[in-house]
Chain A
């Protein structure tokens, strides 16, 4: 067989196979026209949504691109109207929220948006047959009803002050999503919304592509084509950014540093609510002891963790609320004070044993600390925490495991956990600290139980008065100093490197899980070309 005939055969096989597959199936991703490179943006992200259906939890914290919520967050995380014409009117008892809807808005298939779509979206999410794991966030809703074409009324089971912050949730079209299986219908991958962008393709594991919605009610975006390349590996993402294939990417601090000197690229440092914390289970003889908790709270060197582990891209954390937030209680910062920690333990009767580990009533001051297998950041936090504790005479054994291994042990064993949702101080603190939620799924993992905190948490969510709410969350944060059931370690900044081709870039305060919504492209619909 000659080389030519081999090549010929190979080409024929290839062409035949291509023709076959082209006929048999379409690209799982795309269709639609490609735009010019000038008005297109390609960004590299590490995260991929499971579904693009708001009914299954997509975009629940806003910035879903394809959809709009009734309200939206601005750059300062203040609420502004989106599909509603104004912020809702709230009844005096805090149980009824009324939204006036924007008129003349159309879904991308040309059908008008109206109150029935809002009612459909919320009722479907609340339906227990819908596989939405975030349904608990709408727990307060008793019912939602349409009053005419352009008014929607929510009635709540109990007064819930941050409820309007949940209504950034995207609205799905009843006439499409209502006609199919909510959990597996084609709407989950081929969404139709009112948002600034239209989905042109989603190739799972590879990329999500959007094009501008020319009829967007807020004005057609100037970035006409927007692609999110899903690249899980940090090094590959950095390489493809450097190669010019990407216009921007999320990067860990060490890789972002490599782009610092580049002219033509800017690094955006987004502050977050993304905390790392150690749960100190109430039902463990050592971690349940308030003296041990207080000692650990001041024996950890948070500044060093920020400098060494996060390479400066972060801040020390003293609670779920970051120090930069308006909800943070000044004066609850804990100074690193190893001597103070030793004194607390000495006074409480934890005396150093032969091996340097303290003992009280025959109980060694030792406990295991679990972290998620493969999560390098949590591992480094866990190791630093254990080494700081060792200096105070507390012996912590770090262990890696998957959630399946960790979950049954959470009642007794400490866990290096993470979380953070920036919408409202209630979101994190209620689920982390409320005693009635102890051991409910992954809520209150430490089984924290403090009646003063419980009362303040209830007051904080019930009162509509900003001053009363601030006082309530001040109480929570002060109580956490007296009885720290968790040792909060750091809040982690998210770093993004973006080419300087556009104006209007900024970052919001970001949550723990950086979905599509995060990054400087949170408002890509408002970007304008650089002059």
Chain B
């Protein structure tokens, strides 16, 4: 790859994907509106809350008209779409604020959590995978392998509750939730860092088995291939063989994995954020869904869809770079 990056081909691929993304987003947003409209939850009741239980019918009907949810489905979707294209994402009814403000103040914290967790999963998964592949059937391989299968089966929220019980309640060493302590008003680096440890670790560890298993398999296979045998025959150090040869070819399937894990990371983050009262977009997503908050729900879905599409594009680009035989035609 000393020839420099093939920017042209990469750009063309990104452009093609972008063109393809438009109809996908259209279908997805319409799907969200349709599903939300078909859901048994009533947006007016969700909006009014307990006050709705003493409100007059006339009051509730007026609310329905004000919120615009008395309009037909297609009309509402088209309205939202045209406004969204003009840069106006609408107002969130459940959070009583413009959608852009709601997402703006949360997405940073969600990104922080997701990126940290992803880094934990990739780095820890890769290093454990390499170590396990070095001695297949060894103690580390067996322990980490069975732990990986158990973690794979364990839901993230369950891990989260377990971690709270152990680290926050029993040991009392880490905070149980929130961004800062309840009594603290200022967001300091130390506060956020200590509050980030548990949720990021739980989210990262719930993603880790995939990376571990892929890397372990990839490196084990690579270790049996000719280039590795050749490298060993040339008398290169075990370290160079492992990291320079086996890991490099064993990493290829992992690049695909990075893209395909993004959706899982988002759904996992939803649960983890809820368990740890993390002020990210997940709490807003849950509220938006149960209160049938069309504008917020649609914007969040677009965001999630975009994350998936970008994740796929990224992994295809990386793959093309790492293995020139694949190219950028996809």
> Footprint of B on A, CB under 8 Å?
1, 6, 9-10, 13-14, 17-18, 20-22, 24-34, 37, 40, 42, 50-51, 53, 56-57, 128-131, 133-137, 139, 181, 183-184, 186, 188-189, 200-201, 203-207, 209, 225, 227, 229, 236, 239-240, 243, 245-246, 402-405, 419, 421, 431, 437, 440-443, 512-513
26 CB-based A-B contacts, threshold 8 Å: A1-B243, A13-B115, A25-B104, A25-B107, A27-B187, A29-B187, A29-B279, A30-B187, A50-B94, A130-B66, A131-B47, A131-B66, A131-B93, A133-B47, A133-B48, A184-B91, A189-B97, A206-B179, A239-B169, A402-B40, A441-B54, A441-B55, A441-B59, A442-B53, A512-B50, A513-B50
Nearest 5 A-B pairs (CB), nearest first? A21-B108, A133-B48, A133-B51, A25-B108, A184-B91
12 additional contacts (CB under 8 A) given A27-B279, A204-B283, A442-B52: A9-B119, A17-B112, A17-B116, A20-B111, A25-B109, A28-B279, A29-B187, A134-B51, A189-B96, A239-B169, A245-B181, A442-B53
B115 and A205 contact, CB distance less than 8 A: no
- Chain B residue at smallest Cβ distance from A41: B183
A24 contacts across to B, CB distance below 8 A: 107-108
A10 touches B185 (CB 8 A): no
Determine the residue in chain B with the shortest Cβ distance to A511. Answer: B50
Please state if A34 and B186 are interface contacts (CB–CB under 8 Å).
yes
Measured between alpha carbons, how far is A136 from B172 in the docked complex, in Å? Answer: 49
Q: Which residues of A contact B93 (CB under 8 A)?
A: 131
State whether A32 touches B105 (Cβ < 8 A).
no
**Please, how many angstroms separate the alpha-carbon atoms of A131 and B62 in the complex?**
8
B residues within 8 Å of A by Cβ? 40-42, 45, 47-60, 62-63, 66-67, 91-98, 101, 104-109, 111-112, 115-116, 119-120, 123-124, 126-127, 169, 172, 176-187, 189, 192-193, 196, 243, 277, 279, 283-284
**Across the interface, which residues of A come within 8 angstroms of B119, CB to CB?**
9-10, 13-14
A40 partner, pick from B45, B63, B183, beta carbons under 8 A: B183
Q: Which residue of A lies closest to B181 (CB)?
A: A245
A53 to B120, CA, bound (A): 42
Q: Which residues does chain A contribute within 8 Å of B172, judged by CB atoms? A: 243
Answer whether A419 and B97 are a contact pair too, CB < 8 Å, given A24-B108, A29-B179, A40-B183: no
Residues of A within 8 A of B52 (CB): 133, 441-442
Instruction: Report chain B residues within 8 Å CB of A135.
Output: 55, 59
Report A-chain residues with C-beta under 8 Å of the C-beta of B92.
184
On chain B, the residues within 8 Å of A50 by CB distance are 47, 49, 94-96
- Partner among B47, B57, B101, B123 whose Cβ is within 8 Å of the Cβ of A440: B57
Docked CA distance A265–B222 (Å): 65
> What B residues does A209 contact at CB under 8 A?
185
CB–CB B56/A404 < 8 A: no
Cβ of A315 to closest chain B Cβ, rounded Å: 22
- Interchain CA distance A32-B186 in the complex, whole Å: 7
Once the chains bind, are B184 and A21 in contact (CB under 8 Å)? no
Min CB distance, B165 to chain A, in Å? 10
B101: nearest chain-A partner, CB-CB: A186
**A133 with B179: CB separation less than 8 A:** no
Which of B48, B54, B66, B180 is A419 in contact with, Cβ under 8 Å?
B54
Kindly state the separation between the CA atoms of A134 and B109 in the bound complex, as whole angstroms.
34
Q: From the candidates A33, A225, A441, name the one contacting B57 in the complex (CB within 8 A).
A: A441
Residues of A with C-beta under 8 A to B169: 239
